[in-house]
Amino acid sequence: MKLRKVTAASAAVLALALAATACGSGNDDDSSGGGKKIKIGIKFDQPGIGLKQPDGTFAGFDVDVATYVAGQLGYKPDQIEWTETKSADRENAIQRGDVKFIVASYSITDEREQKVDFAGPYLLAHQDLLVKKDSTISKGTDLNGKKLCSVTGSTSAQNVHDTIAPKAQLREYSGYSECIAGLQSGAVDAVTTDDSILAGFAAQDKYKDQFKLAGLKLSNENYGIGLKKGDADLKKKIDDAIEKMESDGSWKKAVDKNFGPANYRNEPAPQIGHIVK
């Protein structure tokens, strides 16, 4: 009888220990830091924004913003697990819990806000054109009769064709790297997408002093940090982190470092919660 009581007590203690271990293990992340990891979604293929480099490290403006925000949440750089989040899967990645938040040239839109929440914005970008340094293209209508490149599935080039230059010859490539290479070779006359993305490509050493941004501001793209809908506490913490990054000069340093070589004329740091339509 005593043996059974001791066994039952031991089992209870063991169960409590296992439960405590389960609560403290795994890769679950929170905003307290400690020894845990935090999973953050970024782009892996956008120079100047989010790029996985040949040595396995990551660089870009979004990477710098995400690293700063994570630091304010209590995570060191080596506690960050970078997760590639392609544009079409960003909302799903947040809803599935694959990442804690996403910093990936993620424009805030009414449609997306039905599915996820956004902190920020932390950058105001614009759709623009990238052209050769000696190009005479200076306005949208100059694209009539010219070859305009964007990636397959993007609406950027189609928008220009439909609203500004109906005689532009659209070229769709599988990625922006191919568009930029086409611009360099003369296969296309201009590339269009967000100016921040274009500036990131143009800032690469291999393209130094070859291209320029037309500065047309064809749209307003308010980049926000996507997170799970209803997580007001995390949203507030990220908003506070962005404000601190802007006020202590880290934001401007990140802009200059990642976009400066392309002479990117960035907008001032946006006001938290203010969406420019």
> What is the CATH classification number for the domain harbouring 44?
3.40.190.10
Are 58 and 194 in the same domain?
Answer: no
- Whose tokens are 């599915």? That residue is 115
What is the average pLDDT value for the chain, to the nearest integer? 88
Are 59 and 164 in the same domain?
Answer: no
In a domain, 33, yes or no: no
Tell me the pTM: 0.82
- Per-residue pLDDT at 172 exceeds 70: yes
Residue at a domain's end among 174, 189, 213: 213
Mean pLDDT calculated for residue range 211-218: 92
Handedness of CA 148, 152, 157, 158 (dihedral sign): positive
In a domain, 258, yes or no: yes
Tell me if 220 sits within 8 A of 124, measured CB to CB.
yes
Are 44 and 90 in the same domain?
Answer: yes
The tally of domains found in the chain comes to 2
**So what's the pLDDT on residue 6?**
43
Q: What span, in angstroms and rounded, lies between the C-alpha atoms of 115 and 140?
A: 34
Are 208 and 239 in the same domain?
Answer: no
- Residue closest to 194 by CA, chosen among 255, 127, 109, 258: 127
Are 110 and 172 in the same domain?
Answer: no
In a domain, 207, yes or no: yes
Are 133 and 208 in the same domain?
Answer: yes
Are 157 and 106 in the same domain?
Answer: no
In a domain, 4, yes or no: no
Instruction: Tell me the pLDDT tens digit for each residue of 32-58.
Output: 455 699 999 999 999 999 999 999 999
Structural domain of 206: 127-213
Q: What span, in angstroms and rounded, lies between the C-alpha atoms of 236 and 234?
A: 5
